[in-house]
Amino acid sequence: MSETRVAIVTGGSRGIGRAVATTLASQGVAVVVGYAGRTDAATEVVEEITAAGGRAVAVAGDIADETAVGALFDRAEKEFGGVDVVVNAAGRMVLSTVADLNLDDLDAMHRTNIRGAFVVAREAARRLRDGGSIVLFSTSVVGLQFPTYAGYTASKGAIEAMTLILARELRGRNITVNTVAPGPTATDLFLDGKDEATIEHLAKQPPLERLGEPQDIANVVAFLGSEAGHWVNGQIIRTNGGIA
């Protein structure tokens, strides 16, 4: 393994992914910021990292497109020499009751959240350097089972199902695979469409009596991707302040 560790963070331009990218960079990790559409936001993340003395590049691409994901890894290898940590923070969420969910929205969520995560995990399994780490994302709503989240949690439950299987398939390479499942976290994705009363209600659910912050989640991801967290493997980490 090279002296500089290298991470790919998909969904790295906003929210939790952005916090993960900047946190890893602050720990000396070179970061490839994967993003889907917001070039301006991705550029801001890279500028923030480089201004602080870190190393980062931004690469656009659809995580459900295996060619685009291959190009993401190609860029990481070209710029920094290899890949040690892969964090798939990209995701899509549409809320609706089962009765009213538009099936086009269901297909779009599953394309990003299941196929996309699988494509990223597959490329990571093929190309990650020995001793590395893969961190996927689920949601604590898989356990909380809030109404209107059925389509979204169905897509995230698939990620939980594959986590330990992939960890076992990578036996012999000293690579860990874990899934972080945040609870209610103050991101644009979570806050969009919710009124103040709903947000306040959710914030009071955990014993710690607040919403999570992106940095709370990023700290856990950074631990799982580090040598200090390497004995944690094949696990679903409910990162939610004790809500469930």
Which residues are catalytic, by number?
Answer: 152
**What distance in Å separates the CA atoms of residue 214 and residue 20, rounded to the nearest whole number?**
8
**What distance in Å separates the CA atoms of residue 132 and residue 214, rounded to the nearest whole number?**
23
Residue tagged 């480089």 (tokens): 50
At position 206, the amino acid (one-letter code) is P
* Helices marked H in 111-237: 117-127, 141-144, 150-169, 188-191, 196-203, 214-224
Report residue 137 as tokens.
Answer: 């994302």
**What distance in Å separates the CA atoms of residue 191 and residue 86, rounded to the nearest whole number?**
26
Q: Is the CB of residue 19 less than 8 Å from the CB of residue 217?
A: yes
Q: Which of these, 79, 165, 83, 168, lies nearest to 123 by C-alpha position? A: 83
**What distance in Å separates the CA atoms of residue 176 and residue 167, rounded to the nearest whole number?**
6
Within 8 A by CB and 6+ apart from 74, the residues are none
DSSP single-letter state for residue 211: -
DSSP single-letter state for residue 229: G
Q: Is the CB of residue 227 less than 8 Å from the CB of residue 171?
A: no
